[in-house]
Structure formats: structure tokens, C-alpha cells
Structure 1
Amino acid sequence: MWKWGNLLLAFLAELVALGIFAWWGWRTGGTTLVRWLLAVALPLATAIVWGLFAAPTAAHTTPVLRWTVKVLVFGLAGAALWSLRHPLLGVGFVVLVAANLAIIQTQNLQP
């Protein structure tokens, strides 16, 4: 239960990060077209990078690259929340993700 609960939380954090990028893109874009492009392109690009380098089944990655991508994605998601004038949510998200990833790593809970 402990393993799957933490892995589920990690997966949900990944989905939330994608949602944050979509929200940030929508709020940051000027025209409606730019808003739509950013709201779709940012999460899509993030998902592609994640799938290539940070996913558990990523074929062409190293531990350092995997962690670099995770830190960048979750850190940028927290920064995006901060820039959307939700600093407590941004910090809380990053702290929750950091704790979850630390538990997964130290307890060897990787799938």
C-alpha cells in the first residue's frame, strides 16, 4: 500500500504539473490564439520530454538526466504557480513533490 500510494502521488503530481503549465500558458498568452497555443504546447512539450527522459520506462536516459528533468519540470511548475500569484501553492507543490520523490528514492519504491 505504501509503495503504490507514493507512486500514485508521484503520477498525480506529474499530471498536476501538466495542468499548471496549461494554466500558465492560458494566463500568460495575449491573444486567444496565443493562449490556446501555449495552453496546449507547453504541457505537450513537457509530456514529450518527460516520456523521453524521466519516465520509468525511458530507454535513453541516465539517472542524472532523469533527476534533472524531474527537478526542472516540478521546479518550473512551482515557479509558474508563483507567477500566477499563488506563491503558497507553488511552494507547497514543490515541497510535496520533493518529499514524495525523496520517499520513493530512499525507500527504493521505483516501479
Structure 2
Amino acid sequence: MGDDRTDRPATPSVSGRPWWAANEGLAFLVELAALACLFWWGFSLGDGLAVPLLLGTGVLAIAIALWGLFAAPRARIRLPLAGVLVIKAVVLGGGAFALYGVGHPVAAAVLAVVVVVNTGLAQTFRRRAE
């Protein structure tokens, strides 16, 4: 009975389903945070109300279009992994740079580290699933 391969391990595996689900949830929150930071940065560029709204909305729209076309799980255009990682670096890394641009360098560094670790774990979990 103890040697049965269907027994669950005493400690959960790092590549187990709960870790994957938690990392995917974090990825979604990081994506939303990056988009919010990009909007905030675009909004901070102009004077008055109309120009900042246009700039913030424009930057946000470009980021969403890039993500939806190339990096989303159901992307319209399937790129090789390297291409998807470039788009993710542009959008998510752009969110970190945007946060730096509005005057929050420590938060930008934290966001950048979370992006790198989260993306690395996501790729590791996907490779182990295959």
C-alpha cells in the first residue's frame, strides 16, 4: 500500500496544480496593474483634462491591442514563445517603466521583479505540464 504510485506525496509539489493556479491568478493581477500603470503614465503627460485622457487611453489601447493580438491565452495571432515573451516584456515591462515615470521607483522595481518571477514560473509550469 505504501508503495502505490497513486499515493499523494506528503508535501505538495511546486509544479502542482495549486501552485500553477496561484501563479496564473497573480499573472492576471500583474497584467491589470501594468495596464493601470500605463494609463496613469499616459494621463500624467499632458495638461488640462482632454489631452491627458487621450494620452492615457491611447497608451492603454495600444497595450491592450498588443496583448490581445499576441500574448493573451486566446491570442488572435500565435507567435513563437520568443515573440510572446517580447510582447509580454513590452507591455508588462512598460508598466514597470511607467510606474517609474510617474515617480515611484521602488514600486516600479518591485513590479519588475514580480513580472520576471511570475513569467518565469509560468513558463516553467507550462513546460512541466507538457
Judge same fold: TM > 0.5, yes or no.
yes
CA distance in 1, matches of 2:29, 2:59: 18
CA distance in 2, matches of 1:21, 1:96: 17
Greater Cα shift, 31-40 or 90-99 = 31-40
Q: Show the counterpart of 1:68.
A: 86
When normalised by structure 1's length, the TM-score is: 0.91
1:97 aligns with 2:115: yes
Q: Show the counterpart of 2:59.
A: 42
Percent identity among equivalent residues? 34
Structure 1 gaps, min length 5: none
CA distance in 1, matches of 2:54, 2:44: 12
Cα displacement (A) at 1:37: 0.5
Q: Show the counterpart of 1:79.
A: 97
Structure 2 gaps, min length 5: 1-17
Name the count of aligned residue pairs.
110
Return the index of the structure with the highest Cα Rg. 2
CA distance in 2, matches of 1:40, 1:107: 34
CA distance in 1, matches of 2:76, 2:36: 25
Of 26, 46, 57, the match for 1:9: 26
Cα displacement (A) at 1:66: 0.7
Residues 53-108 of structure 1: per-residue CA shift (max 9 Å, x gap): 00111142222211110011111111111111100011100101110111111122
RMSD: 1.5
